[in-house]
Structure 1
């Protein structure tokens, strides 16, 4: 039996150190030999992560243990995370989750079959709850991002979804009056404002709407 750790952060700006330390400290305090900790700095929305795939497909074997700090370090999509955990159960690989102490217990040492069944049920319920919370958190974050983008677009501060507007629509309208009055031609205004043809006509369309 071999023991491995896995830790993930969503971006390179987030540090892996904390998770690595938690896994290492747990093993040291419990006199457990740790082979290696695999890490990824990538979104938890799916499981197409290079180091995770190596760990799952090429390293872990029946009888091994996988240690993670939190459910969402494995993944943030509830159904996909539960599917991964089921894969490990089916293949005889034990997963320990440090934020869920009940998953750290060795249930095989419980003499009472009913007690083992109850603990397994509790573990499954807790894992599903935490997985649901992780997914809810990422959905809430995405909702806030969408609302922020919609607000910027409504205020004229966002051009072409995701690209900052060249200038506020009111400022463009003032310059555009020169075209309306015949003082200058459209291509001359484009040149003055440093606008592409497509951007210019998007602004014109918004004014006319």
Structure 2
């Protein structure tokens, strides 16, 4: 039996390392790390990602697939739920770092099955809703910047896309503001702004095409 961490990140290698650190801090002993970098989780299904395909080839019955959260496994509600269920049909146990969820297809207790399936549906729906908000904010920001180049775009963000993603990851993991600031090189005030209005912070990146 092997434990495989699957990480999908936008750009920076340090985010991959951070996801492994998070998983190990949560008690997982990771045997392999499979990473898709620069691949959109909004537009690309897991089976179409270069390393996502490897998961279906390498995972066997009894293996454990670890992900930071279920949004790593698909682009929308249907994709996430079908991916998790396909792994369960193959006897693979899916576990999340955030909220310590376990999705195991071997259970036969009807109550446990109902709770498991309800959790899959809820978490997948939440992941899709968050992805749609992010996509809408990016599209609106880009359209605004391209269509009205003479319009004041606001102050240019003092953080990059990679830094924004890392801040979000660390905040979602429960890290303190000061620790996030130190790890990312961003001021505490900026970390507070990202935490308190994440959609606007991401829209600012989109407006500046950052």
Is 1:62 the counterpart of 2:55? The answer is no
Is the 1:77–1:135 Cα contact (8 Å) retained in structure 2? yes
**How far does the alpha carbon of each residue in 1:45-83 deviate from its partner, in whole angstroms, 9 at most, with x for none?**
2222222211222x1112211111211122232211111
Is the 1:10–1:44 Cα contact (8 Å) retained in structure 2? no
Residue matched to 2:84: 85
Structure 2: how far apart are the matches of 1:15 and 1:76? 20
1:100 counterpart SS class: helix
Q: How many pairs were matched up?
A: 147
Residues 1:34 and 1:106: Cα distance change in structure 2 (over 3 Å): farther
Higher-Rg member (1/2): 1
Residues 1:106 and 1:98: Cα distance change in structure 2 (over 3 Å): farther
Structure 1: how far apart are the matches of 2:68 and 2:139? 30
Instruction: Output the TM-score relative to the length of structure 2.
Output: 0.59
Residue matched to 1:26: 26
Structure 1: how far apart are the matches of 2:105 and 2:90? 17
Instruction: Output the TM-score relative to the length of structure 1.
Output: 0.59
Is the 1:9–1:40 Cα contact (8 Å) retained in structure 2? yes
**How far does the alpha carbon of each residue in 1:119-154 deviate from its partner, in whole angstroms, 9 at most, with x for none?**
332222222222112211221122223323443455
Is the 1:7–1:73 Cα contact (8 Å) retained in structure 2? yes
Is 1:36 the counterpart of 2:32? The answer is yes
CA RMSD of aligned residues (A): 2.8
- How many Å apart are 1:156 and its aligned residue? 5.1
Higher relative contact order (CA 8 A, sep 6+): 2
1:16 counterpart SS class: helix
Residue matched to 1:138: 131
Residue matched to 1:6: 6
Q: Which structure 1 residue ranges, 5 or more long, are not aligned?
A: 159-209
